[in-house]
């Protein structure tokens, strides 16, 4: 099966992992610090905390804000469930706002209509790697007295009006799962420019532990002493995986260029195919094409999905609107509440795209689509 996404790995990645192991610091060592520093630098000089997954990044980011039951988080339904589930796990009420038809990203006007005095966070997602409308979202969130988060699991390396994703929101979360633009196997990161907020992220990701002598409540216990001031978890990323991340980071510009070339080629090869709508790109963004999400018209998405899979082409659907997962349905969320996201989901099909996809692989995808849709 031709996969829709795949990590791009080579011998230098294996060497980088071996080098990290040879430092004998398996975790909490120098390779973690280097990865955080280089990643933060790459993303425009932001602060960076590495964590064990994109889900951990979101959970720790919400934890840093200190969400309480009754607080509201406004987000998009067109995302992986973790964007919302991690807020719900803190006891917050998740409020879904609809998306823009063109990009599948959170619609600032829908957010404006959804915020209340209880909104603590607005979380955008850079769907398929295309940055959301940060200019407008920042204003809507600030006017509501809320923080703006960017779930950039799809978008490491993308820019919005020349600014790298990672510094566009109060906190940005990344995933380094194998299908993402850069991988550490499992892994993630949180970035931002407010050192206090990032300190709280780091603390949540390390059991809520406090070691700074200035902050200790019982300062005269002894040199071994550390204290927990708020609950947290162990979400640390190991040196071994940070070694892989550091090496992947050196190739991220190449991964981005390869994905852009493949996206342009899909655009060209599929332009005249009836029954298909191709993804749009706003002129002010430079996305990393994590997904290539086409829209299959005339109610034929399921048929096209089934026939592509039968032909050995691993297409995917991203995403069932999050509130339609039974866990949200059981909490009283009703289908149909975000009609644009529902319509997007009903037509969406992600075609294979990753740096190692060959032109011959891509021609196979295009030919199969042509045969089905002709």
What is the binding site for ligand PLP (CB under 6 A)? 53-55, 79-80, 82-83, 125, 151, 153-154, 175, 177, 188
When the beta carbons of 51 and 313 are compared against ligand PLP, the nearer one is: 51
Q: Which residue is nearest to ligand PLP (CB)?
A: 54
Compute the residue count for the chain: 374
When the beta carbons of 351 and 369 are compared against ligand PLP, the nearer one is: 351
Least spacing, CB of residue 125 vs ligand PLP, in Å: 5
Least spacing, CB of residue 63 vs ligand PLP, in Å: 15
Least spacing, CB of residue 84 vs ligand PLP, in Å: 10
CA distance 77 to 206: 30
* Beta carbons within 8 Å of 124's beta carbon, 6+ residues apart: 75, 76, 105, 106, 132, 133, 134, 137, 148, 149, 150, 151, 169
When the beta carbons of 8 and 368 are compared against ligand PLP, the nearer one is: 8
Pairing of strands 159-160, 163-164: antiparallel
Residue by residue, DSSP assigns 223-243 as TT--EESS---B-PPBHHHHH
When the beta carbons of 85 and 366 are compared against ligand PLP, the nearer one is: 85
Least spacing, CB of residue 363 vs ligand PLP, in Å: 28
20 three-state secondary structure: helix
When the beta carbons of 80 and 368 are compared against ligand PLP, the nearer one is: 80
Least spacing, CB of residue 106 vs ligand PLP, in Å: 12
When the beta carbons of 124 and 140 are compared against ligand PLP, the nearer one is: 124
CA distance 38 to 291: 25
Q: With contact defined as beta carbons under 8 Å apart, do 168 and 156 qualify?
A: no
- Give the burial class of 300: count Cβ atoms within 10 A of its Cβ; 0-12 exposed, 13-18 middle, 19 or more buried: middle
Least spacing, CB of residue 24 vs ligand PLP, in Å: 27
């Amino acid at each position: 099966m031709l996969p829709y996404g795949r990590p791009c790995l080579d011998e230098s990645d294996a060497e980088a992992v071996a080098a990290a192991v040879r430092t004998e610091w398996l975790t909490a060592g120098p390779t973690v610090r280097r990865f955080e520093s280089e990643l933060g630098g790459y993303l425009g000089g932001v602060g960076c905390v590495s964590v064990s997954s994109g889900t951990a990044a979101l959970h720790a980011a919400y934890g840093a804000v200190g969400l309480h039951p009754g607080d509201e988080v406004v987000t998009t339904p067109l995302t992986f469930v973790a964007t919302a589930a991690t807020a719900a796990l803190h006891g917050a009420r998740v409020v879904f706002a609809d998306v823009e038809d063109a990009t599948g990203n959170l619609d600032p006007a829908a957010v404006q209509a959804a915020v209340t005095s209880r909104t603590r966070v607005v979380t955008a997602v850079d769907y398929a790697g295309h940055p959301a409308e940060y200019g407008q979202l920042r204003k809507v969130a600030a006017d509501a007295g809320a923080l703006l988060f960017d779930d950039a699991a799809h978008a490491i390396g993308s820019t919005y009006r020349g600014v790298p994703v990672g510094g566009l929101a109060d906190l940005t979360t990344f995933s380094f799962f194998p299908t993402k633009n850069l991988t550490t196997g499992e892994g993630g990161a949180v970035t931002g420019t407010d050192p206090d907020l990032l300190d709280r992220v780091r603390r949540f990701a390390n059991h809520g532990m406090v070691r700074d002598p200035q902050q200790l409540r019982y300062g005269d216990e002894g040199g071994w002493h550390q204290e927990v001031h708020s609950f947290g978890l162990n979400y640390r990323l190991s040196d071994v995986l940070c070694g892989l991340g550091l090496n992947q980071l050196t190739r991220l510009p190449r991964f981005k260029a390869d994905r852009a070339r493949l996206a342009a080629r899909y655009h060209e090869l599929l332009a005249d195919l009836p029954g298909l709508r191709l993804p749009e790109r706003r002129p002010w963004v430079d996305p990393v094409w994590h997904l290539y999400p086409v829209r299959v018209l005339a109610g034929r998405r399921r048929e096209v999905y089934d026939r592509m899979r039968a032909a050995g082409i691993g297409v995917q659907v991203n995403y069932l609107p999050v509130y339609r997962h039974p866990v949200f349905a059981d909490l009283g969320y009703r289908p149909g509440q975000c009609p644009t996201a529902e319509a997007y989901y009903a037509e969406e099909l992600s075609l294979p795209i990753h740096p190692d996809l060959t032109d011959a692989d891509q021609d196979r995808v295009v030919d199969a689509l042509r045969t089905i849709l002709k």
